[in-house]
Amino acid sequence: MNIIDHGKWAPYEPAEKPKDYPANVLYLKRESDALDWYVYSHDHSKFDESTIKFMALYQDSRSSYVIGPAVTDVSLLFPRNQVVAEVFGYAGSDPQADFGGKLYDPVTLAITEYVPPDPGPTIFDRLTDLEIRVKALEKHK
């Protein structure tokens, strides 16, 4: 699979709002060059119709971007404070199941499984260990 990163998108207010737009329109621009999301996503040269497009939001708890929606139709995305990437060469049948919840690195363009850190011993493990130690100490009295 080949991945193209389309950048991170942030909310903004245009200096001059386009005519005939509703008053409550939300605007996004790409952080790297201030391109408008609506204009960018409607430019048919920017996204291939046959590819998978996904959004990923940075999550402190995982110290990584986590993929949310993974779709073929870019118009289904609104990447507020998220990165957008496009996957070429996907051969599966359910992109949401295959990409959703995975980690995405926009620097290396890697998609990986989330492996939770080892939480260590549970409170029950600790209590069992404590009971064993107490019994061992009682034997030596």
Looking at residue 21, its pLDDT comes to 84
Looking at residue 62, its pLDDT comes to 94
Contact 4, 45 (CB under 8 A): no
CA distances from 96 to 21, 92, 93, 116, 139 (A): 32, 10, 9, 20, 58
The secondary structure element, H or E, covering residue 90 is none
| pTM reported for the whole predicted model | 0.81
Q: Please tell me what DSSP assigns to residue 44.
A: T
Contact 30, 40 (CB under 8 A): yes
Give the model confidence (pLDDT) of 74-89 as tens digits.
999 999 999 999 999 9
| Percentage with pLDDT > 90 across the chain | 78
